[in-house]
Structure 1
Amino acid sequence: MLCHTALYRAAQVARHWAEHGCPVVIHLDRRVAEKDRAKLAADLADLPDIRFSARIACEWGTFSLVQASSTAAALMLRDFPQVGHVFLASGSCLPIRPVAELQDHLAAHPQTDFIESVTTADVGWTVGGLNRERFTLRFPFSWKRQRRLFDGYVNLQRRFGFQRRIPDGLVPHLGSQWWCLTRQSLRAILTHPDRARHDRYFRRVWIPDESYFQTLVRQVSTNVESRSLTLSKFDFQGRPHVFYDDHIHLLRRTDAFVARKIWPQADLLYDTYLSPSADLATRPEPNPGKIDRLFAKAVERRTKGRPGLYMQSRFPTKARGGNRSAAPYGVFEGFADLFPDFHSWLTRVADARVHGHLFAPDRVQFAGDEAVFKGGLSDSAALRDYNPRSFLTSLIWNSRGERQCFQFGPGDAQDIAPFLAGDPNASILLVSGAFAIPLWRSGRPFPEIRAEAARLQKIEADFIALLNGPDTKARTRIWTLADFIEDPVEPLHQIVDDLNPRAPHRMTELPHMTDLSGFSDFLQELRNQGMQPVLMGDVPASIDMARIDRGLSRPHMVK
């Protein structure tokens, strides 16, 4: 446990761990007053399995946090030979599931290291700030205390093209600093023959606690599960969310074992999860997807505001501009990957002309596989890409009176994306992460799949960011793949209602969904290989239960 404030809460949590059979090593920041250290030690003196490691003055973004973690971990390995996994936590972390469940989970995975570990080349892990440069520049100044020197020195290195050499054999990885490593992997990192060289290098890396163990574990471990067992959420600026008493129902739905950061005055949370009866309490089934959706909505409200609401903290985002095309049209992303017969189904139920990928890289996929469409539009990709905007506006103009729909995806030419986002006539419906389904079924070598998945995810993430931007005028509906397959019927109803709201009939048929059995294992393998699939949401392991055959009817109000 890394502690520096609210020590009375840290003492409560340390006692909870120790009384449930988990030895605890506490690192206390050296800047904590001696009287506070003495009180913490006195409060825990009756527990024989609690130790205090050598104290180091810790500062955010510096190597001191790695030193503190390493020192405490070395003491844990020395004094407690029975320990099989070492779990790193902070003084503001709170166990939110019974300790016995964590012990059982680790016992069932004795050789698995649980640590988020993602390569910077594949996926941008950080929110703003520096990614690759944190490993190739030098950072001798404190970002918090010496901001002008920090920024000035970074700009100076960029100006003169200074590049640090990454030590041979190291592939930089990033991830949450809250890990759970096996005894074997942790010992191998701390006793590595090149540790002195590694430490010298990481001493000038920015925020090394998010990269030191995350990088070195790839050298010593044979079984890395790239996820943290600690629930830690961040806002759109990269700052950690704080959990309060009114988050208790939310925390009960997570599948994590520990939550961070907990407000020190959250008495209800501490009393509930640290009480002797906590292990006996009945808990609902974990639903981490619900937590992700809630935080996504919080970010959206914080960044966009609410139309018509003017307040000191946030004005609503202003919308400008008008229609860019002659008539409404629909853009679908991910649906054809989920439903093989989506084109023919949508044509029947929405009374629309449904094209394939109009912006496919090889050729324009007009409906009916036509080579020339209305207005003399050719299926030549070269002609289309000469002016994508004119191509689309011509297609919509020449087919006025008939609703046009087409597929779009991260594998298509993306130059048209800003136009689509800014057109009020566009209805864009997107299932994020569905591009992984064809990759999963492709049978290609996994290194190729991993690289392609990272590339497509970056493109789709940029498109989603564009759709969520302030200049978007299109009507958009975005589902994660996990949310969509949990209940696909209602979104399909919404699609038909949006495209043809005056249709006198109700849906009487639904498209056939691709069998996704085993898809969650594919996503986990991507994580284990260092690629973080973030757009799919929390896909359930038993996808075969998330079927579309839940019926066609839904309640309607009649007045």
Structure 2
Amino acid sequence: MSVGIVMLVHTALGRAEQVARHWAAAGCPVVIHVDKPVPRKVFERFAEALADVPEVSFSRRFRCEWGTWGIVAATLAASEKMLLENPQVRHVYLASGACLPLRPVQELVDYLHERPQTDFIESATTSEVPWTVGGLNAERFTLRFPFAWKRHRFLFDRYVRLQRAFRVSRQIPGELVPHMGSQWWCLTRQTLSAILEDPARKTYDHYFRRVWIPDESYFQTLARQYSIRIESRSLTLSKFDYQGKPHIFYDDHLQLLRRSDCFVARKIWPDAHRLYDAFLTDADGAMKKTEPNPRKIDRVFAKAVERRIRGRPGLYMQSRFPREDWENGVTAAPYSVFQGFSELFEDFEPWLSKATGARVHGHLFAPARAHFSEGQTAMNGALSDSATLRDYNPRAFLSNLIWNTRGERQCFQFGPADNQSVIWRIAKDPNAQVSVITGAWAVPLFRSNGNFGDIRRLAAELQKIESEHLTVLRSAHIKARVRIWTMSEFIEAPMAPLQSILDEISPGVQRRLSEAPRMVDLSGFGKFLQNLKNQGMHPYLMGDFPVDSGSHSPDQRKPPRPYLVR
């Protein structure tokens, strides 16, 4: 018994020659199909190079364009020549010029000799195929595809839309049930000859000539008609990414390929000298005899696909940028945003940094510049404090800051006077922890001693901006952890909110708050708010502040002490 090898070659003819000699040296007859676009002189040199190997022959050449009938026609022609000229062949193995045997050829021969009536071909119905990419599944059998997808994409798409619009549907011949699977198969002589000699082959060929990607369905469908026993799997290791493109194996995949225990792998990079030197060797240096098990390396490829489409949390890469919501996490690590705290407390940033050990910045999105901690003008990763650079892409500025400072908790101040374009980015970030004291923006206005008309106009503008910000933070679509207090309720009992903030920043540390930051003097603040009301501006975000409120709490004014009149 012998195994015949059908090779489809279109590039890297030098490597194809090397592999063909390897097959032939083990006693396997080889029939090579060379793609018709390969120049005649190049083909003739290739044929002359193998002229000294009697086991190697060449079949009629066809143009093999991806997704078209030419690949099937080339396979049929080479298979016919193989069966006609090699009566001793009992299995035919379809490979490409980019395939590489991973184990001694004799092991493959012995393996197939023990399974004389088994066809190894991936074959599943369209309803059972989860790996098709491109939106065409069952339709590839019911529509016509006369145009090449890669060369005439516009005509391909338009013709598909036209057929859908007119509800065109092709009749599947006979009792065929369309099946799909990998192009790379190993069929018994009995099954392959039955396909080639079928009286209805002309009808089948005419039908599949207009099926999309027929090389993944022709043999997979017809083998079901004649096979005695099918194992729906390929003996060739081939992996595809999420776009349906094959993975290419390089020199650094050597140990990975050894672990697969497969007989053949594709696609091998032509310049992977280490792989060709390692596997095109004698039996003594080859792998141990074992059942092919590509699942051993599936986990590695699954991780590669995940890294390709999801990437690392908070790191934007070519596969995801600039598509919104494709990110694997908006940012790389948890961070805290404080709104109103630096306005209400004196030296809040140094106090928070001392209490938590985190890096606490000022207003990173302030109009003039980014106020980094300790007055720095640049942060990790050469992140500048320039407002012009920051505002070119504020969302990327935030993501870069968190990515560049991984391992250190970042905190910063935010307010209605800052650049508001990052509000939704923060609100949709599960890493964000947002603490807001509403209306605290009025404290700097209260202490500014400026022109009251200007203060009133600015207060109205800031209140409108903060109101819109609060609407975002209360949206049903937010993912950030948000806590909101009105200014009046916060200053009544500030210790509990501050303790919850510390616990949130350092959840594993049991730290009881013993010292609170010093609150600014709010004497007269209630009267200030009343004056704004009197001027036609209604400050409602601060909560209820009596006109005679004290410096720290809106307690009711105590009655005067009684005294004696003589």
Q: TM bucket by the smaller chain?
A: 0.5 to 0.7
Shift of 1:159: 1.0
What is the alpha-carbon distance in structure 1 between the residues aligned to residue 478 and residue 148 of structure 2?
Answer: 38
What is the alpha-carbon distance in structure 1 between the residues aligned to residue 287 and residue 158 of structure 2?
Answer: 55
Find the partner of 1:317 among 327, 336, 340.
Answer: 327
Change in Cα spacing, 1:272 to 1:131, as seen in structure 2 (3 Å) is same
Task: Say which SS state the counterpart of residue 64 (structure 2) adopts.
Answer: coil
What is the alpha-carbon distance in structure 1 between the residues aligned to residue 70 and residue 60 of structure 2?
Answer: 12
2:44 matched residue in structure 1 = 38
Conservation of the 8 A alpha-carbon contact between 2:258 and 2:287: no
What is the alpha-carbon distance in structure 2 between the residues aligned to residue 219 and residue 157 of structure 1?
Answer: 30
* 1:332-481 alignment, distance < 5 Å: none
Find the partner of 1:205 among 200, 211, 227.
Answer: 211
What is the alpha-carbon distance in structure 2 between the residues aligned to residue 80 and residue 141 of structure 1?
Answer: 36
2:448 matched residue in structure 1 = none
Letter in 2 for 1:265: D
2:194 matched residue in structure 1 = 188
Conservation of the 8 A alpha-carbon contact between 2:9 and 2:32: yes
Shift of 1:320: 7.5
1:329 matched residue in structure 2 = none
What is the alpha-carbon distance in structure 2 between the residues aligned to residue 201 and residue 472 of structure 1?
Answer: 53
Conservation of the 8 A alpha-carbon contact between 1:272 and 1:278: no
Conservation of the 8 A alpha-carbon contact between 2:314 and 2:327: no
1:259 matched residue in structure 2 = 265
Change in Cα spacing, 1:310 to 1:131, as seen in structure 2 (3 Å) is closer
Task: Say which SS state the counterpart of residue 247 (structure 1) adopts.
Answer: helix
Conservation of the 8 A alpha-carbon contact between 1:125 and 1:131: no
Shift of 1:423: 13
* 1:15-414 alignment, distance < 5 Å: 15-275=21-281, 277-283=282-288, 288-312=294-318, 314=320, 317=327, 319=329
What is the alpha-carbon distance in structure 2 between the residues aligned to residue 472 and residue 83 of structure 1?
Answer: 66
Q: Which runs of 5 or more residues in structure 1 are unaligned?
A: 322-421, 425-470, 474-501, 503-559
Shift of 1:30: 1.4
What is the alpha-carbon distance in structure 2 between the residues aligned to residue 253 and residue 118 of structure 1?
Answer: 27
What is the alpha-carbon distance in structure 2 between the residues aligned to residue 297 and residue 319 of structure 1?
Answer: 17
What is the alpha-carbon distance in structure 1 between the residues aligned to residue 316 and residue 98 of structure 2?
Answer: 35
Change in Cα spacing, 1:287 to 1:182, as seen in structure 2 (3 Å) is closer
User: How big is each residue's C-alpha offset from its partner over 1:162-211, in whole Å with a ceiling of 9 and x where there is no partner?
Assistant: 10011121000000000000001000000001000000000000000000
Shift of 1:282: 4.8
Change in Cα spacing, 1:139 to 1:278, as seen in structure 2 (3 Å) is same
TM-score (norm 1): 0.56
What is the alpha-carbon distance in structure 1 between the residues aligned to residue 320 and residue 247 of structure 2?
Answer: 19
Structure (1 or 2) with the larger CA radius of gyration? 2
What is the alpha-carbon distance in structure 2 between the residues aligned to residue 129 and residue 232 of structure 1?
Answer: 22
Conservation of the 8 A alpha-carbon contact between 2:122 and 2:181: yes
Shift of 1:278: 5.0
Task: Say which SS state the counterpart of residue 278 (structure 2) adopts.
Answer: helix
Conservation of the 8 A alpha-carbon contact between 2:262 and 2:293: no
For these two proteins, the number of residue pairs brought into alignment is 330
User: How big is each residue's C-alpha offset from its partner over 1:495-545, in whole Å with a ceiling of 9 and x where there is no partner?
Assistant: xxxxxxx9xxxxxxxxxxxxxxxxxxxxxxxxxxxxxxxxxxxxxxxxxxx
Task: Say which SS state the counterpart of residue 198 (structure 1) adopts.
Answer: helix
What is the alpha-carbon distance in structure 1 between the residues aligned to residue 240 and residue 129 of structure 2?
Answer: 17
Task: Say which SS state the counterpart of residue 153 (structure 1) adopts.
Answer: helix
Task: Single out whichever of 208-217 and 288-297 deviates more from structure 2.
Answer: 288-297
TM-score (norm 2): 0.55
2:486 matched residue in structure 1 = none
Task: Say which SS state the counterpart of residue 301 (structure 1) adopts.
Answer: helix
Shift of 1:216: 0.3
What is the alpha-carbon distance in structure 1 between the residues aligned to residue 204 and residue 230 of structure 2?
Answer: 20
Change in Cα spacing, 1:279 to 1:206, as seen in structure 2 (3 Å) is farther
Letter in 2 for 1:36: V
Task: Single out whichever of 302-311 and 87-96 deviates more from structure 2.
Answer: 302-311
Letter in 1 for 2:285: L
Conservation of the 8 A alpha-carbon contact between 1:124 and 1:131: no
Change in Cα spacing, 1:100 to 1:311, as seen in structure 2 (3 Å) is same
What is the alpha-carbon distance in structure 1 between the residues aligned to residue 68 and residue 156 of structure 2?
Answer: 12
Shift of 1:29: 1.0
Conservation of the 8 A alpha-carbon contact between 2:93 and 2:185: yes
Larger RCO (alpha carbons 8 Å, 6+ apart):
1
Shift of 1:154: 0.2
